Each structure stands twice: as C-alpha cells, then as structure tokens.
Amino acid sequence: MPKPAQLTKAQLVEMAANLKDTAPGATPINVQFNPETLKVTYSNQLVASDNQTAQTGSAAMQHVGKGTTKLAVQLLFDVTHPTASEANAKDVCDLTKQVIYFITPNNKLDPGKYVIPGVRFQWGTFSFTGVMESLEESLELFSNDGKPLRASLSIGLTQQEIVAFEPGQGVTLPATAATSSSKPAGTVPLTSATSGATLQSLADTSGSGNDWQDIAAANGIENPRLLDAGQLIDVNATLSVSI
C-alpha cells in the first residue's frame, strides 16, 4: 500500500533568555504530526492624537511600541500511532508534557525569579521565536484502563515586535499528491459520516485507526474532528506521491 511522502518534522527548540541563541544543552523536540495550518497575527498598539478625541472624528493615529507578532498552531499526539513506539509512550501525556514544559515558569537561571523559557518553532524554512503565551490540551481517546491515548494541543507563541517574514519562507509540500486505492475509481464503497462523528472514530471502526492521518490527507479533510453529517469518506484511501 503506497504511503504519503514524509515532510520534515516540525520542531520546538528551547531558546536562551535573549531569544537569539539556542539554550545550552537544549534538545530539539520533534512534533509527532506536522500541523495542518499556521496562523500568524500582527498587532500594533494605537492611540488617538493628543489634540483630538474620538468624538471629533478622523483622529490621527499614532503607533506606540514595537507591537506584537503571534503564532497559533495545533499539534496532535497519539500513542496508538507507530511513531509513538519510539518514545515507548503508553500515556499520551508522556508526549505532551514535552510541549507543556515551554509554558511552565522555571527558576533555572535565577533561583529567586521564575521565567517562561523561550521557544523556537521550526518547520522547513518557517521559523518563529518567542514565548508560549497560551496552551490548551484536549484529551480525546482513553484506553479501557483510563489512560489518555490521543490529544490535541492548541498553542500560542508571542514575540514583542512586528516581524515580516522574508519572501520564500514557508513549507515545501510534495510536488504532486493524488488519491489512490487498490481498486479502480468508483468501485470502492464510501463511508457516510454521522452527526458528531470524527475521522478518527470512522477509521477505528474500519480497522484503520493507525492510518487516520493518511486517510484525512487522501480525502482532503482539513479538520478530522469536524465532519459534516452525511459526508462521504473513503476510509481505504491513502496518498501516492509522484516526484
């Protein structure tokens, strides 16, 4: 069965206090699955001119400070996926705690002062350095003995300046991707999603739970946790890539 081309894994790297150098002894953390999207937000702090008020209309605006740039990204972790065996993880929290580290204040540099470690998110030619401002973890699948097996982490990184990315930055995708299966087109039965169903649950039911990422990519599904009722999905589909 053909497998999709593997993109370079995104990484989280701890940075020194100056946010320019890698922290001494830092080991890059590879994310388990590359994210689907990266959202970058630029914000400036603006105030009205001193000689006009909001009621007078068309007040001149002044830029205050350097502004901020924020990165929002969602990371997925699944200990039932073969890649998790590399870390011998039985509980998904064994994987996510590596990311939670970056939002946890520590006093490694100064025993009397707790600070948040700097972090660089690196994926291909895209790089963003800042501090982790927010993190939301959702545990989505549990084993019979109550261990969480699957989780999604929504993280927000912030840097205290406006940084315009250079032309050419971004992630290089495979040259050509096409849906394929072992049967001719039109002969593979499709699965109809019920209300509230997720791609992971459909894949688990069909016996392809470990391949749900491949199935999502082959069916062009951007959000595997938000399916439309009645949406038709080929749970046997995979990606074949021509370079």
Q: What are phi and psi of 210, to 5 degrees?
A: -75, -10
DSSP string, 136-193: EEEEEEE-TTS-EEEEEEEEEEEESS--PPPTT-SPPPPSEEEEE-SS-TT-SPPEEP
Helix (H) or strand (E) holding 199: helix 199-205
Q: Please give the domain boundaries of the chain with CATH numbers for all domains.
A: 11-159 (2.40.30), 176-242 (3.10.350)
State the pLDDT at residue 155: 92
Q: Which residues pair with 74 in a beta bridge?
A: 154
pTM of the prediction?
0.58
- pLDDT surpasses 90 at 205: no
Contact criterion met (CB below 8 Å) for 196 and 236: no
Q: Which of 7-16, 53-62, 149-158, 176-185 has the highest mean pLDDT?
A: 149-158
Provide the mean pLDDT of the chain. Answer: 76
pLDDT digits (tens, 9 = 90+) for 72-100: 999 999 888 766 555 677 888 988 999 99
In a 10 Å sphere around its CB, with 0-12 CB exposed, 13-18 middle and 19+ buried, how is residue 232 labelled?
exposed
